[in-house]
């Protein structure tokens, strides 16, 4: 194992170990926002990051200019994320010019080199199936801030579907973001079982595609905090 991989594994296990003591808070990303009111409601609910979809085939698509308008509403320490699918270098540059402080989120067939070439912090989505080698994938994308785990469906994105969480190995060499069909009703189970660095939700807090529901966003964030409280109260596991 390379020094970098060894460092990543140590970093990941450190996160998991500190999570068992309740010292790490599960971050919350709400994705696919298209309206000013939804951005404000998501922030008020407790979101740590807000995702804007720059993939034109998505019903939640917004242009880079529109993403910039929405991102301008975010207060300090709430991170804008730009979701991209097989975007050209020119399109990525345009997105970063529009929202220069954004985190990139690659959901297509991008290679590690293509992700690195953008020169910005990024998340890399993984489409989970029974035979998918997540550890190898995470090692290939060792430059990613985290790997976002989503369901494997036709096209790109998780389609609001939950995948089998037992497919996630315990030795992923970087933080993971749990996504795919999360709702206020199942996110507690997801956090307790997977213990991810963060959770990501889109359709699970919507009244229609691209239209968020303020009450559902509040319920979702409250459920994540409830899961964290249960973890903090649980006995610390011995090494």
Backbone angles phi, psi at 9, to 5 degrees: -60, -45
| Rounded Cα distance, 31 and 100, in Å | 18
Beta strand ranges found along the chain (DSSP E): 27-31, 49-53, 79-84, 103-106, 122-128, 146-151, 176-178, 198-201, 206-208, 211-212
Q: Which of 188, 210, 180 is nearest to 55 (CA)?
A: 210
The residue annotated as part of the active site, out of 38, 150, 200, 228, is 150
* Residue 31 annotated to the active site: yes
* Residue 115 annotated to the active site: no
| Rounded Cα distance, 67 and 104, in Å | 13
The residue annotated as part of the active site, out of 31, 115, 174, 221, is 31
Look-up of token digits 């690659």 = 106
Backbone angles phi, psi at 30, to 5 degrees: -110, 125
Residues recognised as catalytic: 31, 150
């Amino acid at each position: 194992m390379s020094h970098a991989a060894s460092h990543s594994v140590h970093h990941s296990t450190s996160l998991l170990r500190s999570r068992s003591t309740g010292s790490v808070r599960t971050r919350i990303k709400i994705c696919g926002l298209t309206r000013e009111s939804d951005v404000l409601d998501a922030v008020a609910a407790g979101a740590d990051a807000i995702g804007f979809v720059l993939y034109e085939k998505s019903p939640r698509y917004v242009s880079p200019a529109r993403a910039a308008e929405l991102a301008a509403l975010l207060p300090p320490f709430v991170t804008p994320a730009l979701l991209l699918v097989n975007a050209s270098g020119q399109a990525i540059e345009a997105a970063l010019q529009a929202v220069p402080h954004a985190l990139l989120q690659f959901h297509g067939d991008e290679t590690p080199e293509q992700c690195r070439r953008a020169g910005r912090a990024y998340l890399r989505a993984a489409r989970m199936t029974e035979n998918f080698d997540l550890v190898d994938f995470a090692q290939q994308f060792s430059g990613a801030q985290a790997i976002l785990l989503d369901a494997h469906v036709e096209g790109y994105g998780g389609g609001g579907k939950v995948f089998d969480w037992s497919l996630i190995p315990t030795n992923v060499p970087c933080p993971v973001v749990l996504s795919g069909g999360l709702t206020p009703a199942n996110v507690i189970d997801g956090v307790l079982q997977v213990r991810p660095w963060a959770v990501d939700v889109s359709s699970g807090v919507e009244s229609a595609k691209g239209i968020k529901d303020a009450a559902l966003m509040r319920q979702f964030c409250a459920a994540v905090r409830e899961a964290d409280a249960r973890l903090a109260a649980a006995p610390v596991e011995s090494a």
